[in-house]
Structure 1
Amino acid sequence: MRFNKLDLNLLVALDALLAERNISRAGQRLHLSQPAMSNALARLRDYFGDELLAVQGRQMVLTPRALGLIEPVREVLARIDSTITTPPVFDPASATRTFVLLLSDFTTAVFVPPLLEALYREARGIGIELRALNDKPGEQLDQGDADLLVIPAQFAAPGHPSQPLFEEEYLCVTWNGNSRIRTQLTFEDYVECGHVVANYATGQQRAAFDGWFLERFGIKRRVEVSAPSMTALAQMVIGTDRIATMHRRLALQAEKVLPIRLWPPPLEVPTLVQTLQWHRHRDADPALQWLRELALRVGRAI
């Protein structure tokens, strides 16, 4: 199909090229050979009268014309997906479809199990693909690489709808053999002990907490261990006098199997609000509407 002499099939190729900025990776994304992808790029260059991707050193960079096409092309493809390819009705009992969710290991541990249980009861043909948050979750949502994004409210992608999913508080965790903290955890203990923290994919959440702590109290926590997982923090204080500040649900899970003690934070830590977010052009997708409603119901119950 052509529109204004442009083969509309080339829009998909253009979107992949603009996202990957590499002919081979764009081809892999669309399951096309490199020669086929090179041919698509040649036709696009001819249509737009622009190189689109230009060689610079050992890599390819987007021309100014290509940079200006990123958002319009994504918008067009997202609208096509939401208005033409989406079925008008959705029957969860008979549907066979896979949804992609972007989320942290914390959300995976506390939210996903009851979600999967509910899906098994109500829609056994529905599959779920879980993907870890990368350093640009908003771009993953923009590019259509995910159906739903679960992320703290302050880091939600701008321009897309969202709803609160559930709230979480924090507890402090120490080894039950901690030589300093025996009967209570004081603010002095909290400041003077070393800390084990999560090094999130985006790097923003840790920075947000430490920035808030510094702004509130004028001092920095002494971070001695940084880990890429929230669920592992409790294990990392064992055998030491360190402290981990953890999500309450994770801390309670860890307490059942580890030699640790839980303490209320000796300071008022802001409540975490986890939000459910989706692409604005998928707002009317009946299947995604159904999944959102199920997710919100599960979030209220955990």
Structure 2
Amino acid sequence: MSDDGTGAAGSGLDRLASVNLNLLVPLLALLEERSVTRAAERVGLTQPAMSHALGRMRRLLGDDLLVRQGNAVTLTPRAMELIAPLRATLRHAAEVVAFPGFDPATDRRVITVAMTTSTAFVLGGRLGRLVAERAPNATLRIRTITVPAESTFTEHGVDAVLISEGFASPYPRERLYDDRIVVVASAGAPPEASALDLLTTQPHVVVDTERRPFPYSVLDEKGIRYRVGRLVSDFLLVPYLVGRAGGVALLRHRVAAEMRDLVGLRIEEFPFPLPGLGIDLVWNPHLGDRHFVEWLRLLLFDAARP
């Protein structure tokens, strides 16, 4: 009995004696991966053993946790509520037993970074090479997103999210690299034409959205006349179509530079002042492995160097 009159029973901790706490690690893997197969690979269990663990946790918690809807697997509301406290609990448990710090030479984790397809086009190759060199037993997973939602930062086992500075984030961010908008045309465009000439004489290839993408508002404010010749739904099709079929487009410089040699692009500076368009790094707020965070941060900055 403690001095204040409450014992272990009063705290509810005694009930843990009937719970197999070894189930918490596979449970977190299941909730983050939403796949029995991937979760089993992540924690080193067989698929039948992982399915058995899921069944036990369903019975213990009185909830389905994972539900199949068509070809997709979704989490129940109860399962969504469990992710953050599970991560925190297991992080504190690791600190108590003093597990050795992250060792990239031997670690077999899945490293997950979320980003848009255009950012993946810029960083994906270098990021993949660096992970292979520095953490040869790890697996890199690039999860592509469009507009990040708040859940992007806390679901699917995402370690870090890379977002444009124009998108809001509920969590702290730091600049990974700076970028800018440039004018791109095909290599066959008139060589004597300036950037402004290209914008006013060549048909524009534009992403098909409800609102004309930035920085067309600047052209409109300046009274610059232009014609949209092609609309596409995939951002990375824009430079490809410009290079292969002609025309002009407004594009991030880093994307244009990566695509230049592939399809033969001409790159010119935008003729009017524009604010920058940097890419920011946002960490999963529940990621508690300080050694891993420091290692991945350095790797991401190395991958982002021009």
Name the TM-score, length of structure 2 as normaliser. 0.64
The one-character-per-residue Cα deviations of 1:122-146 (angstroms, maximum 9, x if unpaired) are x575856252423568656524634
In the TM superposition, residue 164 of structure 1 has moved relative to its aligned partner by 0.9
CA distance in 1, matches of 2:296, 2:211: 30
Cα 1:80–1:142 shift into 2, 3 Å: farther
Q: Is the 8 A contact 1:82 1:285 kept in 2?
A: no
Gaps of 5+ in 1: 200-205
Name the TM-score, length of structure 1 as normaliser. 0.65
The answer to whether the aligner puts 1:97 opposite 2:107 as a matched pair is yes
Aligned positions of 1:79-118 closer than 5 A? 79-80=92-93, 87-88=100-101, 95-97=105-107, 99-104=111-116, 106-108=118-120, 110-111=122-123
Q: Which of 194, 197, 218 is residue 184 of structure 1 equivalent to?
A: 194
The one-character-per-residue Cα deviations of 1:192-235 (angstroms, maximum 9, x if unpaired) are 833244x8xxxxxx7787277459948998472426463x6433
Q: CA RMSD in A?
A: 4.8
CA distance in 1, matches of 2:84, 2:113: 22
Q: Which of 183, 192, 197 is residue 172 of structure 1 equivalent to?
A: 183
2:232 alignment partner in structure 1: 226
1:47 alignment partner in structure 2: 60
In the TM superposition, residue 75 of structure 1 has moved relative to its aligned partner by 3.6
Aligned positions of 1:117-266 closer than 5 A? 123=134, 129-135=140-146, 139=151, 141-143=153-155, 145-155=157-167, 157-159=169-171, 161-178=172-189, 183-186=193-196, 189=199, 193-197=203-207, 210=213, 213=216, 217=220, 222=228, 224-226=230-232, 228=234, 230=236, 233-238=238-243, 240-255=245-260, 258-266=263-271
Cα 1:64–1:284 shift into 2, 3 Å: closer
Cα 1:116–1:12 shift into 2, 3 Å: closer
Q: Is the 8 A contact 1:174 1:242 kept in 2?
A: yes
206-215 or 5-14, larger mean C-alpha shift: 206-215
Alignment partner of 2:213: what SS? helix
Alignment partner of 1:272: what SS? coil
Cα 1:191–1:176 shift into 2, 3 Å: closer
CA distance in 2, matches of 1:82, 1:216: 56
CA distance in 2, matches of 1:89, 1:20: 21
**Matched AA of 2:266:** R
247-256 or 135-144, larger mean C-alpha shift: 135-144
CA distance in 1, matches of 2:77, 2:291: 37
Q: Is the 8 A contact 2:240 2:263 kept in 1?
A: yes
Percent identity over paired residues: 25
Cα 1:115–1:216 shift into 2, 3 Å: same
CA distance in 2, matches of 1:105, 1:55: 27
Cα 1:221–1:69 shift into 2, 3 Å: farther
**Matched AA of 1:226:** V
Query: Aligned residues, how many?
Result: 283
Cα 1:143–1:17 shift into 2, 3 Å: same
CA distance in 1, matches of 2:292, 2:80: 32
1:73 alignment partner in structure 2: 86
In the TM superposition, residue 173 of structure 1 has moved relative to its aligned partner by 1.0
**Larger of the two Rg values belongs to structure:** 2
